[in-house]
Amino acid sequence: MKLLSDTSESIPLVFLITDGSVEDEREICNVVKGCLTSGGSVSPRIFTFGIGLYCNHYFLQMLAQIGRGHYDCTYNADNIELRMERLFTTASSVVLADITMNIPENLDSLELFPSRIPDLSFGSPLIMSGRYKGDFPDTIKVKGRLADMSTFIMDLKVQNAKDMSFDRILTRRQIDILTCHAWLSESKELEDKVAKISLQTSFPSEYTCLILLQTDSEKKVPEPMLLPEIFNKISLPKKGDSKTQKLVSLGCLGVGFGNLTATAKNIPPGAKEPKSPEGAEILVNAATNCCSLVLDRCCCMCCIQTLSYMNNQCYIVLTQLCTALACCECINCCYELCECF
């Protein structure tokens, strides 16, 4: 990292591709953060790619955030080449680097995710999210560095969203980023914050578990619960009692924090990975196949807008389905491929 930090006419790229995890991942993040903070004017960009469930995807996301790069992953061996090619294309087509935003200091509070703005690449939208309190300005001054190392400055006009609830759309991204910071800092406060957001929005997280409660033959109500509360609140139906309520646990729909044992045994990804509950498996497979294989060039919003003209029930059903798939990869598909939001 020190050797790469001495460059001044180009931006070095570092790629980390792994299908396993190691014990000192937090130390790696802290060392890299220290090197980049004390380095030269041009810092290397770190791109990470995770394969399967044995690697710590939150470590990879955190490392990419620290290095102002991008993170991608796949849980399907058939998609490795496609997803890695997309990551390499993003890394090799940077049009604006070292991006900063002139945020006014008179805001009461401001949270920006991620805090270090990644580079803008051709064909890949740059997505930032955050929360603020106070009067937000009508324009924001954005500054960056072009390929010839010259400075680029632009005033961006702030547009208020009218027909789209962006807080719901960006919840999945916010939960992932906060989980990365909670893992790195081992902060119980951040873990509780993630769990609170998960309970308020019904988006699953590493610290909550999703329960489907079937009260009758027509209604199924998803209810996110904190992991310690599951065993206290679930009353299993008695055998042979058809009128009692039915509970289906989807378990924790998070990807976990890696598997050191499987990595040490050099088990190939997917060889003996624990099988997810049936409901969770259906959601994950549906989202993965939708985004990576079948609908690689369209998205949920496109389908919803098209079918809404055909039948109002299609609109309702697809809206509910896409809300469920947003827990997984579907929102990323809509953002990066179709830019329909």
Q: Is the pLDDT at 279 greater than 70, yes or no?
A: no
Structural domain tally of the chain?
3
**What is the residue-wise DSSP string for 225-268?**
EEHHHHHHH--PPPTT-TTS-EEEEEE--S--S--HHHHHTTPP
221 shares its domain with 292: no
Flag whether 110 is in a domain.
no
Q: pLDDT tens-digit profile of 286-312?
A: 555 444 444 343 445 555 455 454 555
Residue of 151, 207, 142 lying closest to 176 (CA atoms): 207
Flag whether 170 is in a domain.
no
Flag whether 302 is in a domain.
yes
Using the 3D structure, point to which of 216, 251, 286 is the last residue of a domain: 251
Range of the domain at 317: 275-341
Q: pLDDT tens-digit profile of 220-274?
A: 555 555 555 544 544 444 444 445 556 665 556 678 899 999 999 988 876 655 5
Flag whether 189 is in a domain.
no
The CA–CA distances, whole Å, from 92 to 15, 69, 230, 308 equal 12, 11, 46, 39
Flag whether 27 is in a domain.
yes
**What CA–CA distance (Å, rounded) separates 149 from 129?**
27
80 shares its domain with 13: yes
Q: What is the DSSP letter of 44?
A: -
Using the 3D structure, point to which of 92, 116, 140 is the last residue of a domain: 92
228 shares its domain with 296: no
Please compute Rg for the chain using Cα positions: 22
Looking at per-residue pLDDT, the higher value among 51 and 315 belongs to: 51
The CA–CA distances, whole Å, from 133 to 57, 104, 109, 156, 273 equal 31, 12, 5, 20, 44
Flag whether 35 is in a domain.
yes
What pLDDT, on a 0 to 100 scale, did the predictor assign at position 56?
95
**Helix, strand or coil for residue 112?**
strand
Residue 338: pLDDT band by 50, 70, 90 thresholds? very low
**Helix, strand or coil for residue 274?**
coil
Q: Is the pLDDT at 328 greater than 50, yes or no?
A: no
Using the 3D structure, point to which of 53, 73, 92 is the last residue of a domain: 92
**What CA–CA distance (Å, rounded) separates 146 from 124?**
16
**What CA–CA distance (Å, rounded) separates 134 from 308?**
38
Residue of 299, 283, 290 lying closest to 341 (CA atoms): 299
Flag whether 14 is in a domain.
yes
Against a cut of 0.75, is the pTM above it? no
What's the CA dihedral at 312, 318, 323, 324 to 10 degrees? 140
Handedness of CA 73, 68, 191, 105 (dihedral sign): negative
